[in-house]
Structure 1
Amino acid sequence: MPKKAAKKSGKMSQMSEEERLLYMQQKLLAEEEQTKKKEDMLMQFLKDKLAKEQRSSTINMNKLNVQWRCVLRETKIKELHKDIEILSQTFERVVDCKDSVIKSLTKDVDEAEEQYAHALRSHLQNIEQLLDLQRERLTLLREEYQQDLDAVQKEFETERKMIIQQKETETMYLQNVLLAMEQNSSENENETKLEFQSMRDEIKNKSLEEKHALRVTLEGTVEDLWKQFQLALKNYTDSTEDRKIAYDVLKVKDDKSACEIEMQMKKLQRIQDSITSLRNKIAVHARESDEQNRQLRQDKIVVHKQFQKLKGRMNQARAAEHSRLATLTVQSNATLKKLQGVIDKGDHILRLAEMCRKLETEEEKVLPFYPSSLSAEEREEAERASMEEPTEQLAQLMQDYTALDQFWKRYNKVLLERWALDCEKGVLTQDNYKLRVLLKQYLDGISVSDEVLTQENSLLILNNRSNMQQKLPPQVPVTDTRVRRPVHNIIEAAHVVSHTL
């Protein structure tokens, strides 16, 4: 070592400063690498050791967990067996309770079904009675309607027969009138024809005679006039040649217009003939229509009277039906209110029954109905009486409600218990009043005041007795001999203190 150190020191002395620095840096780096390698090796060794320790610890922990789990399983199995036994016992006990409750509920359900069936039967009987009443009412109304209808039909048939007979008589009368008018017209026509022929012959004879006389007288005048006419004609023709030409033209026009006028006159004549025929027809139709209108007016008056009668009857029937309907609606509303009251009462009873069911004890749930207090002979007599048919109406009604015997048993039991509690309450109130009086006396005795001095004082005791008279409360009438309270002997504290001191 000294040789190496000497060599190194010799080398160091031979080196320059830069070389020395480089050498020192390399040396430091080599030392750092060696320390780093040592640390890496140490870390690797520690990691391997830690991994081995972790593996061994996990194995040991798993072994411990397995053993611990086995121990826990055994203890848990024992606890579970105990719990199962307890639960099985409780379950059997609960099942027995439930069975008893189910039996009691089945009995209650059967009784409720019987009550419901009985109520339903009574309700159906009431409904059948109402339906019978309604059917009888409808039959009466139908019979009244049928009677009114038959009366109206009879009146209609009689009026129809009278109208047909009147029509037949009037038609026969009109036919006879027509025959008489035709006969009169034919006779008048024949007479007028004969008169016309006789007048025509007379006129013809007179005209022939006058014609012959005029012919003789006029032949001379005609010749004179013919000459004058010829002269006048010549003068006229000469003077009116131009006018003649115009006249011919106007004549042609006049002929045409005459033809047209004739045609128009013919048309006017045809129109007048048609007008007259139509007027005649209109007059005939007017007479016929007046007659028909008069007959229809009479028929209308008769039908209107019948309509007024029928309307009055219908209004009376409608008013009667309206009054009946009003009474029926009032009665139905009253029945609905009563039924609603019954339903509300039943709901109230059911709610009270549910509340009472919650407050029942286990014994009452198992045995809801206490045994009958009747003897065997009394039971036999009651059974024989129930087998016999009742004669009185009240007994019959009581027999209809035999299904409620169990209910009345429980109701009477509750009523008796309530009565006993009321009696016990009276006894307790009496005892409470006595205790209050004694407490007041004691407080008055230990305290001194004007009120105490003015009243009787319990401090004055002679011969071991107080001059106080014990005030008793008003006697509460107790009729129940079954409820008896224990009697306690009470000694005042002041008396005890005086003897102890």
Structure 2
Amino acid sequence: MAGLRPAAPRAAEDELLLLQRQALAEEEAAKAKRELLTRFLQEKLSREEQSSRWGLHKVCTLWRSAQRKTKDEELRQDIEILSQTFTRVMDCKDSAIEALVTELKEAEEQQNRALRSHLHLTDQLLQLQRCRLGYLEQGFSAQVGALKAEFEAERKAMLEQQDWESCCLQDMALAMEQDHARNEHEALLNFQSARDDIKNKARGAQGSIEGLLGLAGEIQTARRSYAQATEKKKVEFEELKRKCEKTSCEIDAQAKKLQKLQENEEQTQRIRDERELALQKLQKLRAQISQAGATAHTHLVTLTCQCSATLKVLRQVVEKAQRILRLAEMCRKLETQEEKVLPFYASSLAEQEQQKARRVLEETTSEPLAQALQDYVGLERFWQRFNKAKLEEKGLERARAALADRNQELRRLLQQYLAGATINQKVPKDPHPLLTTKQKLHPQK
């Protein structure tokens, strides 16, 4: 019993060691198996990746060849369509060019006719202006001649009146001198007769005087004494008498001169008044002449300004017409064949509605807006084409917007298609749909 007790633990240890060895061997076998499986899976994965790359390359090659064939057919069809379209467009362009050449010739003829008419009207206007200026110059010359003749006649009348008045004054002076000489002669005759009478009386009284000589001697003596006493006063008296006579003569002469001066002043004043009246008339005539000249100059300036303004307006009208013709030519180039054949579309109104519209247009109205619309009835064709062009423009804008939306949609679809068809040469993080499908078909063993 004692010998069996130590053998039992040893057997247990051996079993334990054996179990450990078996566990280690199994673990090493499992590890080797895992390594072998891992290597096998890696090789299988590399083969699968290589086969998938070759398959994708083959698929892309086949897809590209199919796309090339389809694109080639589409391009050939497009080329045929474009060639036919180009031929039609060239035919349309040739016909349009021929029509434009014809219209250009007609427009040149119309422009030449309009230019000739304009030049003819301008020449007529210039001739009319020259005639008017000639008439104005003739009228002005006639007025100036009439004024000169009237002035010369008045001047001649004034000179004749002055000569007549001077002759009258000379006659009056001569008459006054003759009257003075006659009065002087009469006074001299009266003086001589009075002197003779005094001498006769003196002879008659001489006898009585001799009787009185004695008395006269006494008187003479008294007179001498008186003369001696009054000699100085007598001299002064004589001097004063001479001065008085001289002064009276001077006063008479001055009175005569004053009278003559007064008469001359009256005549001079009358002549001055007449001269002032003549000067006033002359100034009025000069003012009328200057006013007539200023009026004629103003009319001439106004007419010149009106002519220049008319020429400017005519130039603007010609430029506007030329611009309209150029725009019409440009628009005609953009017209389609249908628009060239049928430039105006048919009215969408019924016959009764058209008749009603014509009756409304023919009615006379008092409203200013309706009257203004009556003035623009002739532009109805223009508004038809204008509205048609506007409608086509709006339709083209909408079609362009729709085509832009369609283009964006096609671009988006094409991008999605290319994103699904393109294969990245590197290994993607997410598996490709083809690889995923192949892995599902060939699961890992």
Flag the structure with higher helix content.
2
Report which structure shows greater RCO (CA 8 Å, sep ≥6): 2
Q: TM-score range by the shorter chain?
A: 0.3 to 0.5
| TM-score normalized with structure 2 length | 0.38
